[in-house]
Amino acid sequence: MVDVESKIAAIKSFAAEIVTEDELRRVFETNDHPVAYDGFEPSGLAPIHFGLLRAKNLKVMLDIGIKFNLYLADYFALINNKMGGDLDKIRDVGRYFVEVWRGAGIDTSKVKVVWSKDLMSDLKYWDMFIRVGKVLTLDRVKRAVTIMGRKEGEAQDTASLFYPCMQVTDIFQMDIDICQLGMDQRKANILAREVAQKYKWKTPVAVHHGYLLGLRGAPKDLKTMSDAEGMAYKMSKSDPSSSILVHDTKEEIMKKVNSAYCPEKIIEGNPMFDYLDKIIVDDRASPITIDRPQKFGGPIEASDFAGLKGLYIAGKIHPTDLKGFVAEELEKRIRPVREHFERDKKAKELYDKVRSYQITR
């Protein structure tokens, strides 16, 4: 049995924000197996922020006894015109997403897969949806439309205004204790907490992980940016030139990483350090060795992750050597996913379907 403080530490190992830590502690003190969820619009081939980062976070949660709902938001994808608004294609992508997680080493028998089409088939859902809408102003809902990956005021149809209320309703319909989503979904989780407090419903704890930078990097640390700024620099499947996919070959990974933004002596906004921090480095206290040609001094060892940063800032590690290390480490983690789709007939059929579809934003 994992003690409460160890569970808190496990969540803090990947969380950019916890709203609130005291509430999370009470959840763990009163429930050995709280329910968490993350939701996804099925919308195309999986980049590493889905296939590696989300899977890594999920493994942490499963290891400390959290029950997890993988929410495949098919009707949300329809509202957002993903896959051209074709529900059959959207659901194919959802099934493909499950295979991505299997390839990443997730025991899907320990994960509950929930489709919005099934959740919404219960009349109680729509009763709750109306109650949610009754306590949220139109202005608040309009500001929350950014959870769709669109700018405030960009929504062009009425269905887009349903989206935030639907996402809030999902949380209560699934009886969620912990909303474990990206920072781009923060507005929906805060709305859910406000609704819960007004109705005296169970208030969900919000645990947000940070954005994963795209290959083009950012001009500064994402932590110092607003949500709108951060979304402009995060890795997104809608921008293939700035994404690494879980199907990329070793050669493709090397090529993409070698062309990535990686300024000398700069860590802030540097995607190489973002991938190290969020995906590659499991134990920040362990030594890290980076290979270099003998003519440049041979392998260099950092005492820990902080030491690696210090060496880079001091100019003792060249961007080329750092990129080579990151590319090799990403390849190690992508390879099992890629090979799952090469080896498993069902997975390969889904991948071939999704790859053939017109992917729309």
For 299-309, write each residue's pLDDT tens digit. 999 999 999 99
- CATH code at 238? 1.10.240.10
**Integer angstrom CA distances of residue 200 from 5, 195, 204:** 28, 8, 12
Are both 307 and 245 inside the same structural domain?
A: yes
For residue 153, what pLDDT band results from cuts at 50, 70 and 90?
Answer: low
Average pLDDT rounded to a whole number, residues 133-145: 89
Q: How far apart are CA 224 and CA 278, in angstroms?
A: 17
Given a cut of 50, is residue 93 above it in pLDDT?
yes
Q: Are 85 and 42 in contact (CB under 8 A)?
A: no
Buried b (16+ CB within 10 A) or exposed e, 305-321: beebbebbeeeebbbeb
pLDDT at 361: 43
Are both 265 and 185 inside the same structural domain?
A: no
Domain hosting residue 279, numbered range: 222-356
Question: Which residues touch 122 (CB under 8 Å, ≥6 apart)?
Answer: 173
Phi/psi of residue 187, each to 5°? -60, -40
Are both 259 and 303 inside the same structural domain?
A: yes
pLDDT at 156: 65
The answer to the question of residue 216 being in a domain is no
For 13-44, write each residue's pLDDT tens digit. 999 999 999 999 999 999 999 999 999 999 88
The answer to the question of residue 215 being in a domain is no
Identify the domain boundary among 209, 243, 265: 209
The answer to the question of residue 361 being in a domain is no
154 alpha carbon, distance to own chain's centre = 23
Q: Are 184 and 144 in contact (CB under 8 A)?
A: no
pLDDT at 151: 57
The answer to the question of residue 181 being in a domain is yes
Q: How far apart are CA 296 and CA 321, in angstroms?
A: 10
pLDDT at 226: 63
Q: Are 59 and 11 in contact (CB under 8 A)?
A: no
Are both 236 and 291 inside the same structural domain?
A: yes
Q: Look at residues 255, 256, 249 and name the one whose alpha carbon lies nearest to residue 342.
A: 249
Given a cut of 60, is residue 216 above it in pLDDT?
yes
Are both 41 and 138 inside the same structural domain?
A: yes
- CATH code at 133? 3.40.50.620
The answer to the question of residue 175 being in a domain is yes
Are both 251 and 342 inside the same structural domain?
A: yes
Identify the domain boundary among 187, 209, 231: 209
Are both 241 and 296 inside the same structural domain?
A: yes
Are both 201 and 340 inside the same structural domain?
A: no
Average pLDDT rounded to a whole number, residues 312-339: 96
Given a cut of 50, is residue 67 above it in pLDDT?
yes
Q: What is the pTM of this model?
A: 0.90
Are both 172 and 34 inside the same structural domain?
A: yes
pLDDT at 267: 94
Q: Look at residues 61, 49, 182, 164 and name the one whose alpha carbon lies nearest to residue 111.
A: 61
Are both 81 and 229 inside the same structural domain?
A: no
Identify the domain boundary among 181, 209, 237: 209
- Counted domains in the chain: 2
Average pLDDT rounded to a whole number, residues 222-243: 71
For residue 148, what pLDDT band results from cuts at 50, 70 and 90?
Answer: low
